[in-house]
Structures are given as C-alpha cells and as structure tokens.
Structure 1
Amino acid sequence: MLSTGGVPPTTPQVRAAGGDVPVDTPRVPAREAAERELSKPMYHENEPNLLQRAIDRFWDWVGDLLSAASGAAPGGLLGILVIILAVIGLAAALRWRLGPPRATPRTTDSLFDDIPRSAAEHRAAADAHATAGRWNQAVQERMRAVVRSLEERAILDPRPGRTADEAAAEGARALPDHSSGLHSAARQFDDVTYGGRTADQRAYLRLRDLDLALDRAKPRLTSTSPGAAE
C-alpha cells in the first residue's frame, strides 16, 4: 500500500551481505541499535567532564552578563571597568577612614590569664613589648599592671574573672580623681584585645603615666574598699 503522495512508508532497508535482496529492519530496533552504538565510550572520550561543562557555562553566563551591561553602561565595557575601579577605590577609602570592623566588646572575658603574676611582672612585660614596638601587647600588660597594683594595695579585692571595665568602675570609686583615666584605659584595653584596633606609642605612654600616678595616689575611704590604706 502507498502512503499519501505515492511515497511508501519509511522503513530502514539493509541489503543482505552477499546479495542484492534488501532486508527490512523494524524502526524501533534500528534506533535502539544506533543508541547502543553511540553510547560506547569511544565516542565520548574527548567530551568535557561535568565540572568542565559547568565552568564553561559559568563563563558563558559571565560573558553574556558583561555584554548586556556594556550595552547599557555609558562607554560600553570600558565604562564598566571604570565603575568597578571607582567602587573598589571607594571601599578602600572607607576602610582606611573607618578602620576594620569593631567587634562588640565581650564583657565576659577576664582581664587576666590563668597564670597569676605580680604588678611588677606585668610592668616588666609591658616595657619589654614597648621596647620591641609591640604596642597592643604593651597596652594589655600595662592595664593588667594597673589593676594588679590596685589589688596588691587592697584598693580592689582580688576577684577572678574581673573585666577591664569592672576594674575601672571599682577603681574610680576609690580614686575618683583618676576616674576618667581608668575608664579610658579600660576602653583602650578592650579596643586592642577584642575590637581589632591597633595601639601606638602615645596610647601606651598615657597608660604608663596613669599607672605611675595611681601608684602615688591615696584612695578615698569607702565601704567598697575595706582594705584601703588609711
């Protein structure tokens, strides 16, 4: 039977080997045989792997994105580069102006480490750091020397876990004339220890002068300093 137009239905024909008589092969088995043949590894050896195809698609996407942006931005691709450089420059200027992000001071952290040392030992460590130009460590050790000295003089009761802010508040009640210096020293300690700030020589010298002044100061007798010298 002929199909519409006089063309016989399409059926793959294969001539038998050694003869001229065509052999009809059903369409579905022929397709399956072709798929099995094309699925052999030899036909896929040079194809990119999954990762490479993903990378290629990503870069194609970036290229399309830049092409679309260059058409919309003034000056085309050069305009985009100028805008990117301007944004980078602005970010760098803001970081330089504002400094690194400050973490919220952790008021639960102790001023001292697990190794108890005297005020003299903390002062010696502070001076050694200062001589080497390690101002952050010098500030930390000098603040510890200040608090340890107040404890040794019985102006403050020795208490594990005391923070710099707590020590400054308690010390200011006994030595009100140095309240501002104590609170400033505590903030400086928190800034360099927890806030990512950097100290300098001037900050250390202020703290050293405070330490020397406190060593000569006479405390005000209050109920919060029962062991203060009379």
Structure 2
Amino acid sequence: MRTRQPIPPKKSPRTGSSAKPIVARPPSPSPVGAEVREEIFARLRAADPEPKAELVYRNAFTLLVAVVLSAQATDKSVNLATAPLFAVADTPEKMLALGEERVRDFIRTIGLFNTKAKNVIALSRILVERHGGAVPASREDLEVLPGVGTKTASVVLNVAFGVPTIAVDTHIFRVSNRIPLFVAPTTDKVQAGLEAIVPEPYRLNAHHWLILFGRYICKARKPDCPICPIADLCRYPMKTVAP
C-alpha cells in the first residue's frame, strides 16, 4: 500500500527564491502648471526658433503622400523612397498615371508597401475626382482618404495649411505623459489635451518641437536628461544622470 507524501507548502511569490523582486514605481506626477508650460515652450523655441518637418516634400500633395507612407516607418526611409518617386509624380494626376505597380516598386523598401501603394493611388483618384487635384484643407475631407487618420490629417493641416494642430505620435505621447504636460491613456486624448493647454503663441510649432524633443532628447529607453533644456522643469521621477 502506497503512502501519500506530504505536499510541501507553496512559497510565497514575494519571498520565494525564484521570485523576481518587485520594484515599486513612483507615482505619476501631476502635470505642470501654466507658468511652467509657458517656460517649457519658450525654451524649446529658443533652442529651435523655426522647426521644420523631417519628411521631405514639394507641395501639399507630396506632404500628404509622405505622411501616409511614414506610418510604421522612419522619416529617413520614407525620404529615401520618395525622392525618386516625387521626381516623376508630384501631383495626383501624375501619380495616377504612374499606376499602383510602379508606385509599389518605388516604395518597396518601406514597411507595408503593398497596402500603402494601393492607398496612394486610391487617395490620388479621390483628389482628382472630388477636389480638382487639390489637397483639401478640411479635416473631414482628409480623414476619409485611404490611409489617412487623425494623425496624418493633423500633420497636413499644420504643415501645409498653418492650422495649429498637434499630431500626437509615439514621441509626443511619451513626452506629454512624462514631463508631464497632459496625462492621458490614448493619443487622441493627449492631442485634445495639448491643443487646449499649449499657450497660443507656441501652438503652431508645438508639434515640431515636441516630436523632435522626443526623438532626440527625451528618448524612450534612456532620455538624455543631462543635456535636456527643460530638465529642471520636468517632473519625470526616473531621470537619467550624467556619467
């Protein structure tokens, strides 16, 4: 007759030898106030008075195409592909004449190139048929174009038409929640929040300042806090220190 072996007691997940240590994260700080926001953007403007988009474009149409192509791709990779493409097709009419297969060949080095080639041809056709070949300056008209969402429409409105929108990508989303300027769980909510609180004199260029700041200084894995122009104003509790 077999005897049952006693079942050893379970180790606590907090004290067992194989358990990973639990690291308490500091609570999220409250957003900075109006005076600090003003100072933050004043410093960003002083560091870069005339910020420019890093995507290379020739007109509103090529800007629209470049932003559509930039989804899940770097600006550098898009610029490499669009330089020869825009040399032969910088209007919706020329893009349609080029055709989907040739557009696909030009952008083959960009992620999701098959879908993006279809979208570029489809949006070019809509621009020709509904807008006389012009890029509309209306968010509603932009967002119904294939491959165009809230962020793309906001970039085109801001850069091509001077509308003070703030297109929130991963960089701006991180920066806004990290400083924090405005805290929210989605890009749409961060965009609405920023557009409501960024001081008016800075609103037109805020998109560029924040995206470049997030791309080159306030980076995701290891922000360059020692060289940050607003480090003393930022409330991020996990700043990096100088070596």
Q: TM-score, normalised by structure 2?
A: 0.23
Greater RCO, 1 or 2 (C-alpha within 8 Å, sep 6+): 2
Structure (1/2) with the larger helix percentage: 1
Calculate the TM-score normalised by the size of structure 1: 0.24
